[in-house]
Chains A and B, each alone.
Chain A
Amino acid sequence: MDSEEEAFDKIINAILSMGETGATIDEISKITHLERHTLSKYLNRLHAEGRISYKRIGRAKVWFVSKAPLQHIFRSREEDLTYTEKIFSRILSDIPEGVLVLDFDYNIMFMSRYLLALYGDRVGQKYYQAIFGAGIGEGLEAHQNQIKGIIDGSLEEAESQVEDKEGRILEIKARKVENPDGSFSIIAIIRDISEKVGREERIKNLSELHKLLGEAVNRSYTIDQLCSTILGNLCVVIGYDMGDIWIYNHESNLLSCSAQVGYPRMGDRGKRDTVDEWKRGIARAAIISKEPIFFVKGEMKEGMKAHSYYNYALELAAEYDLQGLYAIPLRTKGEPHGALLILTKRGRTLSEEDISLLEGISEGIAGGIAKIKVEEELRVKANAVEISINAVLMADTEGKLTYVNPAFLKMWGYDRENEVLGRFCTEFWRQIEGAGAEDILIAVQEKGDWEGELIGVRKDGSKFKLRLSASLIIGKKGPLQFVAVAVAE
């Protein structure tokens, strides 16, 4: 090796002695007394190491010594470096980005340690082969065009995102630089932004899911409708084979399936019920534990066998030839609303990103379910008021009617709501004794409620006795409405 290094030194000195014009192989051979065949081998080695470069003049190669500092810094011993070179060396070593130097033949002249760690030592090799392999990664064609543009002078610098041969997403900023010897190189700063791109993709998917969820909640009238839409949206964004949403009922402490997708038809009713029991068991286990349950066939986590859901998961895996089963509890703050079950068939599991997405959207789904539940409940209660045989009325704090049920209209002899809404409730009754009907309103405002007998005044002017019970409703910001029930006596 020492004799080789001596030979290298001779060659370099020979080229330097020719000055600015450089030296041909014949001229170097004459000075160094090296045989042409051996010299050619050494010249290629030195060129691969970046210590010399060449220009073509006609058919001949004219050799020059490269004064590129980067290779020199990393190949010299510490004690041979100048102070500035030592500083530069440390910076390049520690920089969390890749620095790569190419010549205009796409040969890699220099790689920083960051890139050496990613790709191994590829100095002297062709850039595209070394970094991109067979060359089918996303963004590669555009990147190649940009580098070509730098070489032919149409571009000074270029920036691109391109996938390397390992599937990493690289951000590459490249520009042309003039070497001290007058030749040109391309310096590229390379960063692995796979994680950043993955994060952005996750955020984009999560935002998309939230947007779809919001639309689904606004458009759904029932929980079943909402759950069906949610499962459909999840299938589009994540992709899975089978899925359910199970809803928890607080009063009965029961779980029922609100929607399911992807399951094959099962004719046997008994078998269907059994499968539902397995799924119900897993959903309940996830709700009680308040944590997601992940079951992947063949992967046994510590303590899994002790859990009640384990046998159910095995049964389901056998029944549907599953690889993965994921149960995500659906909770709003403090309250369980159900569970989402996602099943994947053999050979397929959800990625970490997909699981993270499901966990991220679960509270939103629970919130949507809670909202629809409340709306359904209110509609049921509103129906109860509507069909009541007792007259029910509501008025704002000024006493103007805001709601009456059909029994009120019947009792007072009106046909339609719009005949009475907006009118002062005091128009519809008189006190049996004493002053005006306004007293009741004042009494409710001061005392909070009032109960007593009144004389009702119908549309046609006829009168009737009634018993009224009225109360003030307090909301978040103060008095909201009056509500009253009237019973004819």
Chain B
Amino acid sequence: MTKVKTKTVMVVDDEPDVLDTIAQILVTNGYKTIEAKDGQECLDKLREEIPDIVLLDIMMPGLNTKEILRAIEKDHRLSGVKIIFLTAIHMPEAEEEGLLASKQVVDFIEKPFTIRRMIDAIEKAICCFQILSVPRI
């Protein structure tokens, strides 16, 4: 019998309630989780273990999001990791900041969001890349 490998999701958010709730829900839904409360902890833990997906909050204290993305892109071990933004800022703002340019960023979920939206995004990312749509003008 083929054993399906449990997918690992890293959750990065500076709000403890958000971090704990999402991590706990993911575990209940059969995922393994790695938790990080800021960008530096995220990069530190990525040196120890490589997840399949990173759920990344934008506008955390410490390392800014661009620096985190740059560090992930530079590390060849992390080339297969897919990134989903979970954030309160709007997509056009993130696009103007250049945060959606990386090929590893596969989805963008604005807070508040339903768990169903998040789980669907993770499942899609594991199967295939999601193409982000951005304003046309």
Contact = CB atoms under 8 A, between A and B. Distances in A.
Interface of A: 248, 250, 253, 284, 287-288, 332-336, 446-449, 471-480, 483
Given A333-B96, A474-B22, A480 B116 contact: no
B111 interface: yes
A288 B94 contact: no
A448 B95 contact: no
A477 B13 CA distance: 10
Most buried by B among A250, A336, A448: A448
A477 B28 contact: no
Nearest to A248: B137
A474 B135 contact: no
B53 to A, nearest CB: 16
Interface of B: 15-18, 20-22, 24-25, 28-29, 88, 90, 92-97, 111-116, 118-119, 135-137
Contacts of B115: 447-449, 471-474
A303 to B, nearest CB: 22
13 contacts: A253-B137, A332-B93, A334-B92, A335-B135, A447-B115, A448-B116, A448-B119, A472-B114, A474-B111, A474-B112, A476-B88, A478-B16, A480-B112
Contact of B136 (A250, A449, A476): A250
Contact of A477 (B18, B25, B29, B135): B18
Contacts of B111: 474-476
A248 B118 CA distance: 30
B25 A335 contact: no
Contacts of A447: 25, 28-29, 115
A196 to B, nearest CB: 35
B15 A336 contact: no
B17 A479 contact: yes
B39 to A, nearest CB: 18
Contacts of B96: 333-335
Contacts of A248: 137
7 cross-chain pairs, A with B, having the tightest CB-CB distances, nearest first: A478-B17, A448-B115, A334-B96, A334-B93, A335-B92, A334-B92, A448-B25
